[in-house]
């Protein structure tokens, strides 16, 4: 499934020193074998920054509802919040994973980190493996044996002894030793999520168990580092990534926890890149959503030291979507799109934006855009920082559910919407992949915005030259 390659060079230890200051752990004592993933050399706008034409009168004003309050520090998730008994241990697992990824993320795109390259040329780092192992190991201890299924992106198939030992050292350095202490348990924990084949179909034994009469099987879906290219882009280069966990029942995500270590806590803060002397204590947040309970933003780390503590919870909502005074006009609505150009290989997003805004800027680009990697975009829209997200890959691409399952419940509980390009809800109960008929995903703040993006999509499709 993956091709592993050894590269030995010295690791940029500065990023570990930064994380040490943040997490108050001892200074690292080991150097890592490293692999440089080529992330520089691509042309893209500064991640996170809104771009607009200089001759346009529009000035960005956040419509976010996450305003600071003197009573914020004492707020918690409501006692009757749906699935709170599951959210608490899952939140603790995500926070522990965030300590690992924050420690390991490169400082810039020129820094180094160990990893391998998959056969589809996508990178996977020791951060991906470590985060997946910790989250699944902890969740596995919380659920009843045989009742829950895990689906997660990474496999230990090509994780060799050197990389395994490196990950175990990282656990010790961030104070998580005692959870996974040996290579065997590390690989077992990672592979708890390997319940499917390369085609995305669940293994026969898993399907048989899920079809037992009277048994409601929950599926935990995890992307340990969603936006690995953003992770590799580095802290000081504005690289965004997230740890995305969803709980799915009957094909519908009912709970989601989205850990965003580099996202500013204030929705109006556009400073997405770490400063030279930054320790990270003023950035990073977690979005929590559960069906019927709304969406909340929590601090990345709990001040109490209890990783399951929900203190600091603040309810978030999308931009007003009824076309009234709290809404942005469609001509000023903002797109939150990917950094890499392959996210819009056929120029469809640009065509959609032109129809919604009425024109493009002087360079032929979308008028109001924020570019960033990963499902972090869902959090940005959920708290009113943008109105549109699009996912329109090449026709032959078959979507994995971990790239959108968590984002779906986050955006919907904040008042937004996620559908396919026909306006239909997406089935997340077919295995590790979506239905092949899903040829794109449209996400918005809902209401007038979703009506507009569906209409614009259909119009630009109708204007495209026929492929026959």
Q: Which positions are annotated as active-site residues?
A: 128, 228
Output DSSP code: residue 68.
-
Phi then psi dihedrals of residue 226, to 5 deg:
-85, 120
Report the number of secondary-structure helices (H) and strands (E) in the chain.
Answer: 11, 16
Instruction: Concatenate the DSSP letters of all residues of 283-336 into one string.
Output: EEEEEEEETTTEEEEEESS-TTS-TT--TT-EEE-PSP-SSSTTSPPGGG--EE
C-alpha–C-alpha distance, residues 105 and 224, integer Å:
13
The 10 Å Cβ neighbour count of residue 269 is: 15
Rounded to 5°, the CA angle 22-116-5 comes to: 130
Q: Are 370 and 334 in contact (CB under 8 A)?
A: yes
Q: Is 24 left (phi over 0), alpha (psi -120 to 50) or beta?
A: left
Q: What is the DSSP letter of 41?
A: S
Q: Which residues of 47-68 are buried (b: 16+ CB within 10 A; e: fewer)?
A: bbbbbbeeeeeeeeebbbbbee
Task: Give the C-alpha separation, 2 to 416, whole Å.
Answer: 37
User: What contacts 65, CB < 8 A, 6 or more positions away?
Assistant: 267, 315, 316, 317, 383, 384
Residue 3, C-beta contacts closer than 8 angstroms, at least 6 positions apart: 116, 117, 118, 119, 158
Q: How far is CA 354 from the centre of its chain?
A: 27
């Amino acid at each position: 499934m993956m091709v592993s390659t050894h590269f030995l060079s010295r690791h940029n230890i500065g990023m570990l020193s930064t994380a040490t200051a943040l997490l108050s752990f001892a200074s690292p004592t080991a150097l890592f074998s490293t692999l440089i993933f080529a992330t520089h050399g691509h042309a893209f706008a500064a991640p996170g920054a809104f771009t607009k034409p200089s001759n346009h009168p529009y000035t960005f004003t956040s419509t976010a509802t996450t305003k600071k309050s003197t009573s914020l520090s004492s707020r918690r998730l409501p006692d009757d919040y749906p699935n709170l008994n599951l959210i608490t241990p899952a939140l603790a697992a995500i926070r522990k994973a965030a300590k690992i990824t924050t420690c390991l993320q490169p400082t810039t795109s020129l820094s180094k980190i160990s990893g391998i390259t998959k056969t589809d040329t996508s990178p996977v780092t020791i951060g991906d493996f470590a985060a997946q192992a910790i989250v699944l190991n902890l969740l596995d201890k919380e659920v009843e044996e045989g009742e829950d299924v895990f689906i997660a992106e990474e496999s230990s198939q090509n994780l060799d002894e050197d990389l395994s030992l490196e990950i175990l050292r990282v656990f010790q350095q961030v104070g998580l030793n005692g959870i996974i202490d040996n290579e065997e348990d590390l690989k077992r924990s990672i592979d708890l999520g390997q319940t499917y084949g390369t085609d995305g179909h669940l293994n026969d034994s898993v399907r048989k168990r899920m079809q037992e009469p009277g048994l409601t099987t929950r599926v935990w879906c995890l992307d340990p580092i969603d936006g690995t290219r953003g992770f590799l882009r580095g802290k000081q280069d504005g690289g965004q990534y997230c740890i995305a966990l969803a709980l799915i029942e009957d094909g519908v995500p009912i709970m989601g926890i989205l850990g965003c270590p580099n996202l500013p806590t204030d929705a109006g803060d556009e400073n997405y890149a770490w400063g030279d002397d930054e320790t990270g204590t003023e950035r990073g947040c977690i979005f929590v959503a559960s069906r019927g309970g709304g969406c909340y933003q929590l601090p990345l780390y709990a001040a109490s030291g209890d990783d399951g503590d929900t203190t600091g919870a603040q309810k978030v909502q999308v931009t007003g979507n009824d076309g009234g005074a709290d809404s942005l006009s469609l001509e000023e609505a903002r797109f939150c799109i990917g950094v890499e150009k392959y996210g819009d290989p056929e120029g469809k997003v640009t065509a959609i934006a032109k129809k919604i805004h009425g024109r493009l800027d002087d360079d032929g680009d979308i008028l109001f855009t924020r570019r960033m990697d990963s499902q972090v975009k869902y959090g940005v829209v959920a708290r009113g920082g943008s109105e549109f997200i699009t996912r329109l890959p090449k026709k032959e691409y078959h979507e994995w559910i971990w790239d959108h399952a968590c984002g779906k419940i986050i955006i919907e509980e904040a008042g937004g919407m996620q559908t396919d390009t026909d306006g239909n809800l997406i089935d997340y109960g077919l295995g590790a992949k979506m239905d092949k008929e899903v040829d794109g995903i449209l996400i918005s703040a809902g209401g007038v915005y979703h009506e507009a993006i569906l209409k614009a999509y259909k119009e630009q499709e109708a204007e495209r030259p026929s492929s026959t």
